[in-house]
A and B are shown apart, each in its own frame.
Chain A
């Protein structure tokens, strides 16, 4: 049978079109932004332990940042697919970013690790009134502040807030630019070590105020749920191994956080790492996540826009699909 020239041309064009339609969205790996907070360090531990090399687990590239705000910025710029952060970062991303994200895992709860360090002349929280308080505008500091405000009865407008990156806080304190700072390790350790400064308030007094989360872009959750689940499993395995091998895990954490082993040991009392089977309570509709999210959202919005009243954050940003034994919200 003679095939006409038109059919031939159409065939060639169709073949070319099909050849051109390759899957351009397929990622080579996922990128995670973490600052030096030890609670985020177990992804690096999972990597060191080879837990991320299992078949089906995507390459996880850990991008180290200086601070949570740098992690958020990297996420907003599309440089990373996920980050370690708190409800404050989750709220900030969803309120002011152009890229939606959800929390999929509770990494740890800070018990006393986040704190307010103040000059020795301030001994009570209410003495902060009229003082200059340094804090990172978008970070757990916000949550510590919220808890502290609740504890002392102070109002937000009674304080002079000075947004400052964590790394610059020690210098600002010693030079007298601020009277107090909301901080967390390792900077908190540095600050407490400075003469004339001591801890005024910590999250031990408000244990659920600072919860660290794995925050993932919604498009990654929707397009690569299996890859994400395998990363979460690897992280959980790293946690379990770490619990049984505290000395070794501290060595690895030290390498990736820049903290010494001694510092990590000291910190370990105030950081409670949460495995998968201890997640469910957090994700309850009445649990801390759902309770704190709206508060955090409001504070973040107020801080960023100076608005009197913030708008709420939809509860869908708490995505429990990767949490075993968790009820659907």
Chain B
């Protein structure tokens, strides 16, 4: 964890970091090893010297002729710089001869300022023993005095005593430390130089070319990457890597060109192409929209250029008019179940300056991903829709008055009649004819006649309920459909209309009346029979003197029976 955080991510930097780290570790290791090697050697050397000197003194004790000659020999040996003390101690712990006069004839404890008490208290074993005194940096030898045939009586008196010899090892240790440092510095120097050379070689041959390759691969410019040779040096593997990257860049470049071509094609069609995936759990997502979607559904530039297709899809869905969404969902359901199939739908989207009609069409595409993939197109069909509406208007409406024409109202009549039968509700129609309208045309001309017709329709419409329908049935004949209206209600409405017209003033400033025939649907009535009955009643009204309503004599309850 720590290692990961510490290490730089750049190869070259990581390389340098590790080189420095390993160099430092190497230097420390070399220093420690060198130190211990030299110090241990120095200790061994000091012990060896101490033993050697002690043996010499033991030999001298055997051969020394007099106390004075042995004493002189001891002084001579003690004059050597590292010899700290020599003492010949008898069995009773009294120093007989020593390298300092102040110790002579004193108790062995007098040596305590030079030799640690633990060694002074130690009795000699059978053989010479050498000890290392770490605090005082001393090699201490304790040797038994067991002369075989000494020349001097002084030595005979020492029988059973011991030789105490202390060698000051500080110069040895100091010298060893210096040597250790010296060796460590040079070894470290060589190590560091070798590390630097290796580091430089690896940096030049590997890290730097890799860094260059890395920088090139980070560049978005496939053209340059594919055309320029990579600076990979002479290393075989790196050259192969550089070539592979160039090849890859070429392939990527070709794919990019092809992709761009397809996108251009997709963007050039009027409308948008898209990819959509529907999941079994009802979820879905848009995977792609061509650029035309922006103009098609009037997306803001930010959304369109974000290339976030889910966001675009959500935006498109939000713009679809709520009343069309159900249709879309039904179409989607139908296209996915039971088997994936063609999907198509027409729906409206809200754009900034109105409504746009869109025709969507998609076909299922098999792939190995979960859910069902569809690829489709969305086309703007607003113009077609408007044309259709105009044609519809023309086919079902009277162009002069705007009221339904006969073809226009007949479906209403059929459905209303069927509904009345099904629900057993009353339903009536009123057939209206303008009295003496031929005279108006003949006297005031067709222009005035048309105006009168338009005014008349306006007046009818004002008095009709929302559910009622008005159609121009013939030249000056009108039909009013009154759903849920019995004969009595129809009569009242008809009478109201008659009176209103009778009292109204028209463009030609002449009174005008209408005759009205009512028919209320009976069980078993067809449209034809119903209209004929209304026509019969109209005829009766005409015949009965005009400006009247006829048809109440019918028995509307027959419908109920």
Instruction: Give the B-binding residues of A (Cβ under 8 A).
Output: 5, 8-9, 12-13, 16, 19-20, 22, 24, 28, 31, 33, 36, 63-67, 70, 73-74, 77, 79-80, 165, 167-168, 171, 255-258
Contacts and interface: CB of A to CB of B under 8 A. Distances in A.
Given A20-B186, A165-B72, A167-B69, A64 B80 contact: no
Contacts of B66: 167-168, 171
Interface residues of B, number: 30
A16 B185 contact: yes
Contact of B189 (A5, A16, A22): A16
Nearest to A5: B200
Given A5-B200, A9-B196, A256-B102, A66 B78 contact: no
Which DSSP category, helix, strand, loop or mixed, fits chain B's interface?
helix
A168 B79 CA distance: 20
8 A-B pairs closest in CB distance: A167-B68, A66-B72, A258-B101, A16-B189, A74-B79, A255-B102, A79-B79, A16-B185
A22 B178 contact: yes
Contact of B78 (A9, A22, A24, A63): A63
B100 A64 contact: yes
B302 to A, nearest CB: 46
Contacts, number: 77
B76 interface: yes
Contacts of A33: 79
Interface of B: 66, 68-69, 71-72, 75-76, 78-81, 99-102, 104, 170-171, 178, 181-182, 185-186, 188-189, 192-193, 196-197, 200
Contacts of B81: 31, 79
A74 B72 contact: no
Contact of B101 (A20, A165, A256): A256
A75 B197 CA distance: 52
A64 B76 contact: no
A166 B68 CA distance: 9
Contacts of A79: 79-81
Contact of B68 (A66, A74, A256, A257): A66
B95 to A, nearest CB: 12
A24 B71 contact: no
Contacts of A36: 101
A36 B189 CA distance: 53
Contacts of A67: 72
A47 to B, nearest CB: 11
A194 to B, nearest CB: 15
Given A20-B185, A64-B75, A257-B101, 19 more contacts: A9-B193, A12-B193, A16-B188, A19-B185, A20-B182, A64-B99, A65-B79, A66-B68, A66-B71, A66-B72, A66-B75, A66-B76, A73-B76, A79-B79, A80-B79, A168-B66, A168-B68, A255-B102, A258-B104
Contacts of B101: 36, 64, 255-258
Instruction: Determine which residue in A9, A33, A171 has the highest number of CB atoms from chain B within 10 A of its CB, and name it.
Output: A9
Contacts of A73: 76
Contact of B186 (A16, A64, A66): A16
Nearest to B183: A20
A314 B99 CA distance: 35
B75 A65 contact: yes
Given A16-B188, A20-B186, A70 B79 contact: yes
A74 B102 contact: no
